[in-house]
Structure 1
């Protein structure tokens, strides 16, 4: 990236220690516009590259990550606060897999596609779809996955022929800059992948700078603001806006496994996942046994600095996040719920907290907490479980736990969410081949998978007429013969039957003779 003015700086801190890690510049709106302009110029060249050339760049970047895995994981852990183990397992491993998958498969996935156009093919017509890149893709990720989300989306965008401008969260600017450094080391043109660090004003400037598409991960409130600005400019976007994800545990589930899944699903990354288990519904008959298992497993979790190898739960990202978690736990208390374990904090270290006697009507069951809390309610019937799960304005993911797979599939199909897992939880964002996105307030559009790749290209329809020596029968001038022909088309040609369509041929011939005679 070109050197730009460093008059103002954004300081990055380790939330676990308060230690100053480093600083990054705050880009001005004018500088952001300059970056987007350079990105658009770089696009004109990059869009002409072959899939093989794009693949070579991505695979070189991938090798750099592998060579620097400890350094990168430590930076992610320090800046986001997550355990070092999760920096590897939930950030680096998934994005390495995504990089190799799309490097190898994008050419096939974006292969031109012939369209069957039915009876129009009898007239010598054919159609196909080709896929063209958008141009400049603006990526604005959240702080909770500062490496895997922007790098994964950038990889897919680049393989599709786009250029990329990433605006990292103000809480994790150094991780964002690391992504830019990786591509520079891999030999990318300096304007191919650019990083603009700064605060919310920087992100707003990027949205206003007329990128060709916006990929945003973050809060509903910010997502609405981005959608409003984008709408004024008719800029397309993908929004991933979080969730309040339910987990349903039936009495026939393997309760020990389900309890372990609940603990991991609620407390990994200190609960700061869009798809964390934030509502758990367990069948009343086994509730006491299941809750005891959850509490015992929670007691075994070590909380501390994420750089320690045996630490499972770490720190909240900021005072703002701590305030939300504290207010939700206090609201549960005031509304009659019981805290079985946790509920306290020291600094930004909030204890893993298990809460029971909760109801959907309680405020924290409707708002995203984004912290290490696990509220547990009970249900009596399958229908009640589905109703409770769907009583939310969010719909990102959900999970169903049962030994009856037929029942699991039945319930999964009735839950309003972008992803529903059966006997699994949370992790499918790490599967490159599967789409990621939600319903309701959880966002619009998809990332990952074929569906996510299609968000990064524009389909172009190419239509060919091999019989160009003849006029089309629907051309001017119109006449009585023309109207009779059109009626024949309505009755026979538009029937979808080749046999019936042939009945219109005599009238079509008469119309062609008329048009040729009037040349």
Structure 2
């Protein structure tokens, strides 16, 4: 196999219109993939549009049958998918398998619930329009473009792909250049179930390929990635008024109240911060702990984090940093925090050893540090003690992100969760909301807008159509130039009688 130095480059180009995805643990080439040109992207979208009518005409039952068959195939070949995820991201095999388990659960939910959520239903016409029958249904938008990330190369894009397909759309998917094989594998497996038409196509390449998808005439674009790239995606889509769903980064906080189960909170904090080597948009990056339990909590986190080991071997807890450029960001955040007075309880700058980063636990971190204000995306965590939960909420909400959050409290979990400026919150657990298919997933602020998963996720890829149908001639018809002189006067009398009283 061709090899490069581990961590030196995420991808290599071959000079023949192809590029190689690399195993970040070893630098070995996993596979080669084409760099699709703007014309090839346009052709893929045109093919998807031709397939769109056929896919829509299958109806909910027909699509469900195909998606259920795809689900069964994914279960059968789960180990194969997990092996490819591990090869392209470097994450441990168990974590890759867990990712596929959640993918399968979401695919099942989307296929099962699409008809219930999107089908035509009657709604009340109201007193004044009682001669009308009112209905609403959610129709497919057509062709959905999806631009996916590398950190969860199956789970995250499938949050758009599965729900878009279940809603009756066809999809053109541009995976990250770091994980093109996972995206291609997903498309190939669905093609085994749906050989008639390319209802899920994949285009591979770099930023130019993604930009071409934004400008290709898709009917909606779903993007997951950094806030900076999300803004560029929005600008490109704005040229044609293509609607977008944008899921960007986060700087999620975990709050530990005075009555929390400290051991449980510490375990959740370490998992939420360190799993997948911290490369999780909804991962825990900041902790605000009540001073009454701060010492106990910090000691527990310190003990647990010290046992977590990165590496490329099967027994490692963490894999490498998948995107080599992220290593410098992690190092700069740790260094900045320490320079400003933070205490390194576990690890430090020396923990950054590309392509791996050992766990880093920082305490008493100034709120203007990069480790507090910016997304680190590494196996690091900051712990700051607070006088009370009011201070914790204020600090947790002070940033520009608003993706997820976590609260540990025996008595006030719901109350504190409602005060967090976040699209999703776990109480006495961590990132649980992501694995519950019926819950919408998405954020606010610099974390983006729009929702995948759940009923909101299905409707995100549909267009509501309202229909009013006349049933009989109304007693009073104000919507005509032939209306009588007293029509509006009579309507006003009815309104005052019906709505004017307490």
- The two structures have a TM-score, normalised by structure 1, of 0.90
Quick check: which one's helix share is greater? Answer: 1
Asked if residue 334 in structure 1 is aligned to residue 339 in structure 2, the reply is yes
Q: Which shows bigger deviation, 386-395 or 354-363?
A: 354-363
Cα separation, partners in 2 of 1:324 and 1:491, compared to 1, 3 Å: farther
Cross-structure match for 2:91 = 82
Aligned to 1:119: 127
The CA deviation at 1:208 is 0.5
Residue 400 of structure 2 is matched in structure 1 by 393
How many aligned positions are there? 485
Instruction: Tell me which residue corresponds to 2:444.
Output: 439
The aligned residue for residue 66 of structure 2 is 57
Query: How far did residue 158 of structure 1 move?
Result: 1.1
Q: Determine which of 332, 344, 354 is the counterpart of 2:361.
A: 354
Q: 1:361 Cα deviation (Å)? A: 2.0
CA-atom RMSD, angstroms? 1.8
Does structure 1 retain, via aligned residues, the 8 Å contact 2:425–2:433?
Answer: no
Q: 1:456 aligns with which of 452, 461, 464?
A: 461
Task: Name 1:298's counterpart in structure 2.
Answer: 305
Which of 94, 105, 115 in structure 2 is aligned with 1:107? 115
Q: Deviations over 1:227-258 (max 9, x none)?
A: 11222211111100110000001121111111
Map of 1:61-460 to 2, 5 A cutoff?
Answer: 61-89=70-98, 91-122=99-130, 124-305=131-312, 308=314, 310-343=315-348, 344-404=351-411, 407-460=412-465
Shift, 1:285, TM fit: 2.0
**Cα shift at 1:121:** 4.5
Structure 1 pair 495–147 and aligned structure 2 pair: CA distance change class (3 A): farther
Computing the radius of gyration from Cα coordinates, the structure with the larger value is 1
Deviations 1:429-469 (Å, cap 9, x if unpaired)? 12111000011111111000001111011111111111259
The answer as to whether partners of 1:253 and 1:402 remain within 8 angstroms in 2 is yes
2:371 and 2:382 in contact (8 A); partners too = no
The answer (yes or no) to whether the contact 2:476–2:487 under 8 Å persists in 1 is no
How far residue 470 of structure 1 moved from its aligned partner, in angstroms, is: 8.3
Runs of 4+ displaced beyond 4 Å = 468-471, 494-497
Cα distance in 2 between the residues matched to 1:69 and 1:412: 35
CA–CA separation in structure 2 for the residues paired with 1:280 and 1:78? 32
Alpha-carbon distance in structure 1 between the residues aligned to 2:281 and 2:389: 26
1:108-127 CA-to-partner distances (Å, cap 9, x unmatched) read 121212111221343x2120
Structure 2: runs of 5 or more not aligned: 1-14
Q: Deviations over 1:106-154 (max 9, x none)?
A: 11121212111221343x2120001110000001111111011223321
> Residues of 2 paired with 1:176 and 1:346: CA distance?
29
1:119–1:496: 8 Å Cα contact kept in structure 2? no
| 1:14 counterpart (12, 15, 23) | 23
Worse-matched range after superposition: 101-110 or 138-147: 101-110
Q: For residues 365-415 of structure 1, what are the alpha-carbon distances to aligned partners after superposition, in whole Å with 9 as ceiling and x for unaligned?
A: 1111111100111101121111011111000011110111xx211111111
- The 1:463/1:313 distance shift into structure 2, 3 A limit, reads same
Encode CA deviations 1:272-312: one digit per residue, 9 max, x unaligned. Answer: 0111101101111221211111011112222211x61x321
Structure 1 residue 335: Cα displacement: 0.8
Which residue pairs with 1:3 in the alignment?
Answer: none
Question: Is 1:476–2:484 an aligned residue pair?
Answer: no
For structure 1, the residue ranges without an aligned partner over 5 or more in a row are 1-5, 501-519
